[in-house]
Amino acid sequence: MSATNAELFARAQAAIPGGVNSPVRAFRSVGGTPRFLVSAKGPYVTDAEDREYVDLVAGWGPAILGHADPRVIEAVTDAASRGLSFGASTPAETELAELVEQRVGPVEKLRLVSTGTEATMSAIRLARGFTGRDLLVKFAGHYHGHSDGLLAEAGSGLATFALPGSAGVPAGIAALTLVLPYNDVDAVRAAFAEHGDRIAAVIVEAAAANMGVVAPLPGFNRTLVELAHEHGALVISDEVLTGFRVSAAGWWGLEQGTDGAYTPDLLTFGKVIGGGMPVAALGGRADIMQLLAPLGPVYQAGTLSGNPVAVAAGVATLRAADAAVYAHLDAAAATISDAVSGALAAEGVAHAVQRAGNLFSFVFGEDVASGVHDYAGVQRQESWRYPPFFHAMLDAGVSLPPSVFEAWFVTAAHDEAAIGRIIEAVPAAARAAASARPPVG
């Protein structure tokens, strides 16, 4: 065996801030030593100590087919053999854009970028350029990347101008964002009543999945669109996590054909669209998208946008993600979440399963046992029950998201054997959650 996870983490901390390149990887929420992964295949990941885990992180969503799917690997290998980056247009960029447009009706034009943060940042700039307005509405607990205007906390009251939620964010920039409680239509109405002629856009996760999973109440997204349009504002639907994962057309697709059907003006995508490679996108109405340079005055650019190797992974993933894949994801998610819920109930742990399609998570405590619908509800839970639950699963060879405030992800490769290993691990983890005690002080 080469270096241990602990040795690798110590080395990383000497070279990288916090030893990680994205904060949740540091295990601060759950404690203990992060696992350094060296390979992955199907529903499994393997760490530097050669220990295999059933994976319920799936790269935070993009490994929808399973890790190292042969079709994706073949496409990436073929693309890489022809060159890694050209800084010029390639035919595959158009192919990926067409695939997205075929799946998601509101997307008439698409611009490829490299990250979800870049996609949402660009969508907001575009919305401001289109409307000539500055204010942005977002919802508490929703994460849209780490650009300055989106790292904002809610102040007191229903529609208070935000304060910076991170050092390095100027107060003046944060003050251009109104932070409202999620699923609260009255708060949205109040914000538009007071600031309607200054609001450029409402940005919303199509279904929240960055504070755990919190689905929109029926009709909420539709009402957002109606209120925004009534006041000349746009709606940006962030499908970075839900897009092409909860259905072939994302969360928007799930809500079509229902009373909650809606048509956002702009949508942002990431994760699955890149099949595990750094690809993201913004798309929407042609008349809005045409304002992007080189056609219009809203500037956006990126040398690596539409990278041929990354795009190849995205095209292969979307082509392979057919109806059978989505049916399997739904069934696997239901089986696993039901097993976890049953084990927690057997140990007397009050909880609720939070679902949005095949995304799911858990909240702990009597106060939230009927489910939560906003960030305040998520924060009321007994989050201290999750670390011992997490580590019991990890010790049994199951890798969960290292935070209670994250979604769980299944893949099409989670077969009976992988799911069986998860179910076997759950009773001991439920006992660990039941025996947990709140921190002192």
Residues annotated catalytic, as ranges: 143, 238, 271
Measure the CA–CA gap between 46 and 409, rounded to whole angstroms. Answer: 17
Dihedral sign for Cα 396, 400, 405, 410, please.
negative
Joined together, the tokens standing for residue 224 give: 């957002």
Measure the CA–CA gap between 331 and 334, rounded to whole angstroms. Answer: 5
Joined together, the tokens standing for residue 153 give: 């906390």
Contact yes or no for 365/382 (Cβ under 8 A): yes
Measure the CA–CA gap between 104 and 206, rounded to whole angstroms. Answer: 13
Helix, strand, coil distribution of the chain in percent, nearest 5? 40, 15, 40
Query: Three-state SS for 243?
Result: coil
- Residues forming a β-bridge with 113: 280
Measure the CA–CA gap between 381 and 379, rounded to whole angstroms. Answer: 6
Query: Three-state SS for 390?
Result: helix
DSSP at 367: G
Residue that has been written with the tokens 């650009």 in this structure? 147
Measure the CA–CA gap between 428 and 416, rounded to whole angstroms. Answer: 20
* Sheet of 398-399, strands arranged across: 37-41, 44-47, 52-55, 398-399
Query: What are the CB-based long-range contacts (under 8 Å, 24+) for 360-365?
Result: 360/213, 360/333, 360/336, 360/407, 360/408, 361/209, 361/212, 361/213, 361/401, 361/404, 361/406, 361/407, 361/408, 362/212, 362/386, 362/404, 363/212, 363/404, 364/404, 364/433
- Smallest CA-to-CA distance from 36 within 54, 51, 16 is with 51
DSSP at 292: B
Measure the CA–CA gap between 421 and 402, rounded to whole angstroms. Answer: 19
